[in-house]
Amino acid sequence: MAAPSADKRAVRAMVSARGNGGNGIGCQALILAFVPHSRNRATGDGTGDWKVSTALATRPAPGGRELRKTAPSGGELTRRRGLARRVRGLRRTSPGRLQLMMGLLVGLAILVGLVAGLAGYSTRSGTSDLGGRAQPLYVEAETIYSALADADTTAAQAFLAGGLEPPALTRRYEDDLERASVALSAAARRTGEGSATAAAVRDLTSGVSRYAELVATARADNRQGLPVGASYLAAASRLNRDTLLPRADALFTLSRGEVDHGFAGARSVLWLVFLGLLLVVLVVALLRAQRYLSRATRRTFNVRLIAATGLTVALAVGATGLFIAQNVHLHRAAHDGSTPMKSIADGRILALQIRGDEALTLAARGSDTESEKKLQAAKQQLEARDGPLTDPAYARIDPGLGLRMRQAATQFQRYADLHTKVHAMDTGGDYEGAVRLAIGTDTTATFENVRSAMDEAFEGRKAVFTEEIHSAGRGLGVFTVLGLVLALIICALVIAGVRPRLEEYR
């Protein structure tokens, strides 16, 4: 039995159009089919009219699987709707509003206590790390650099003396190596495992041992008058200048970066801003709660909520004063301590380079012109205006610091004049006279005056830094605990202030 041909063509066209418009993935297609309108009850042969029926059918996704949207489970939806209905219900009644208000105030107070504790802990740990690890590591790195540079200079001067080295120079060289070794041990304790600073310390520790062996060989050959001693000394100096001092400078730079990060960690700006915002929100919430209770209960004051507000304000004022004082001390530690320490340390390093280049130029007996060029470049950098030796900021920071640095600058100018004579004698053919003047009492004492003045200035700034960091950390440990305790007291006062009003409705 067949349907009329025109109807068949219409059905095919509609099915084809609907199917082509789908996206092919789980879409619904309109299915048109001929269904018998009625069967011939008399004959039962099923003859009769046909009518077109429509039905929605789901087209399966590719692979025969149907994609379905994930939806929350019935239990989860019930819980969400139940909580929302409960909150809406509480807002419609006076007791419910009191319960919501009490819960909000208690939650804010607890959050304030937690953030206050975290802010206190963060600032305290940052300040302790800055004063107990980062800054001492920076000092040790500078000590390592200056000790290695001075050891190289002293070894070259002792070599210039020829034969048996002067006892004073021998003791100084040995003291330099001991200072470097002690500073390396101290730095190793303050570096993290696997860090770049730890790798630099390991390289320096092994390199110092190799350097000491080369110098010892050079000194032994020099005592016997063997020319090969100069080669060993040159190898030791190259190891020092090309490997050890660059690694020491890298450690110095890394430690300086850790000091800068230490100041940022000690301030903990994000925690303090968050704490300040929460304290403001809690004070405003407490004031609005008292206003609401005054209108709703016809009572002018709620003593317990007033006490909670007073404690919150006291906590805010105390935190503000404590952290302002901490930041003032941190600023002084940076401005009066750490910053001039960096400049003085750079000056000491440049001065030692100049003294070492002078000795290496003489030890090379005219075959080394690069050392004199490096000496002049370092001299210009040291004496430049606003440089590490003549910076006017020293006097503004502390008149005593400015006086000591002026003394260092005066002595260095005198030493520079003596070096000019040494260089003139060396280039003029009077090598022996140049050596006597370079390692003589006058030149040595003048350079030692430069060093001693800069050393005193450095130690003075180090003491200022230590004192300011100690002052910056004062009270932070107490605030860490006290902030949480006060927050719990505020919670208790809020509950004690609101609960009696709730009891009136029972």
Q: Is pLDDT of 98 > 90?
A: no
Q: Is pLDDT of 475 > 50?
A: yes
Q: Are 312 and 106 in contact (CB under 8 A)?
A: no
Give the pLDDT of residue 167.
Answer: 82
Which of 24-33, 217-226, 385-394, 480-489 shows the lowest mean pLDDT across its residues? 24-33
Phi, psi of 57 (to 5 degrees): -125, 150
Burial of 169 (0-12, 13-18, 19+ CB in 10 A): buried
Q: Is 12 helix (H, G, I), strand (E, B) or coil?
A: helix
Give the pLDDT of residue 33.
Answer: 41
Q: How confident is the model at residue 233 (pLDDT cuts 50, 70, 90)?
A: confident
Q: How confident is the model at residue 140 (pLDDT cuts 50, 70, 90)?
A: very high
Q: Are 371 and 412 in contact (CB under 8 A)?
A: no
- Strand (E) or helix (H) holding 429: none
Residue with the bigger pLDDT between 261 and 86: it is 261
Mean pLDDT over 120-131 rounds to 91
Q: Is 422 helix (H, G, I), strand (E, B) or coil?
A: helix
Give the pLDDT of residue 162.
Answer: 66
Give the pLDDT of residue 77.
Answer: 55
Conformational region of residue 72, where left means phi above 0, alpha means psi within -120 to 50, and beta covers everything else: beta
Q: Is pLDDT of 35 > 60?
A: no
Q: Which residues contact 342 (CB under 8 A, 6 or more apart)?
A: 256
Give the pLDDT of residue 368.
Answer: 67
Residues belonging to the chain: 506
Residue showing tokens 């009625």: 38
Token pair in block for residue 481: 């605990």
Residue with the bigger pLDDT between 437 and 231: it is 437
Give the pLDDT of residue 47.
Answer: 45
Q: Please state, rounded to an integer, the average pLDDT across all residues of the chain.
A: 81
Distance CA 390, CA 236 (A): 33
Q: Is pLDDT of 114 > 90?
A: yes
Token pair in block for residue 100: 């919501």
Mean pLDDT over 34-59 rounds to 44
Which of 29-38, 308-317, 334-343, 388-397 shows the lowest mean pLDDT across its residues? 29-38
Angle, alpha carbons 245-421-169 (nearest 5°): 45
Q: Is pLDDT of 4 > 60?
A: no
Distance CA 412, CA 421 (A): 14
Give the pLDDT of residue 195.
Answer: 87
Give the pLDDT of residue 241.
Answer: 84
Give the pLDDT of residue 372.
Answer: 84
For residue 462, give Cα distances in angstroms to 99, 120, 189, 231, 337: 57, 26, 20, 40, 6
**183-211 pLDDT, tens digit each:** 999 999 988 888 899 999 999 999 999 99
Residue with the bigger pLDDT between 103 and 219: it is 103
Q: Which residues contact 450 (CB under 8 A, 6 or more apart)?
A: 351, 408, 411, 412, 415
Q: Are 241 and 375 in contact (CB under 8 A)?
A: no
The b/e string for 355-383 (b: 16+ C-beta within 10 A; e otherwise) is bbbbbbbbbbeeeeeebbebbeebbebbb
Does the pTM surpass 0.75? The reply is: no
DSSP structure string for 307-337: HHHHHHHHHHHHHHHHHHHHHHHHHHIIIII
**262-310 pLDDT, tens digit each:** 898 888 899 999 999 999 999 999 999 998 888 877 777 889 999 999 9
Token pair in block for residue 396: 């503004």
Q: How confident is the model at residue 63 (pLDDT cuts 50, 70, 90)?
A: very low
Report the chain's terminal Cα–Cα distance, integer Å.
81
Q: Are 145 and 348 in contact (CB under 8 A)?
A: no
Q: Is pLDDT of 29 > 50?
A: no
Which of 62-71, 326-335, 371-380, 388-397 shows the lowest mean pLDDT across its residues? 62-71
Phi, psi of 30 (to 5 degrees): -85, 120
Angle, alpha carbons 87-93-99 (nearest 5°): 60
Taking alpha carbons only, the member of 412, 415, 382, 403 closest to residue 460 is: 403
Q: Please give, one letter per residue, the 3-state secondary structure of 385-414.
A: CCCCCCCCHHHHHCHHHHHHHHHHHHHHHH
For residue 183, give Cα distances in angstroms to 83, 180, 190, 207, 272: 64, 5, 11, 14, 36
Q: Is pLDDT of 10 > 60?
A: no
Give the pLDDT of residue 472.
Answer: 92
Q: Is pLDDT of 224 > 60?
A: yes
Q: Is pLDDT of 72 > 80?
A: no
Distance CA 318, CA 479 (A): 9
Which of 69-73, 398-402, 405-409 shows the lowest mean pLDDT across its residues? 69-73
Residue with the bigger pLDDT between 262 and 95: it is 262
- Strand (E) or helix (H) holding 478: helix 476-503
Taking alpha carbons only, the member of 146, 394, 131 closest to residue 251 is: 146
Mean pLDDT over 130-152 rounds to 90
Mean pLDDT over 439-452 rounds to 91
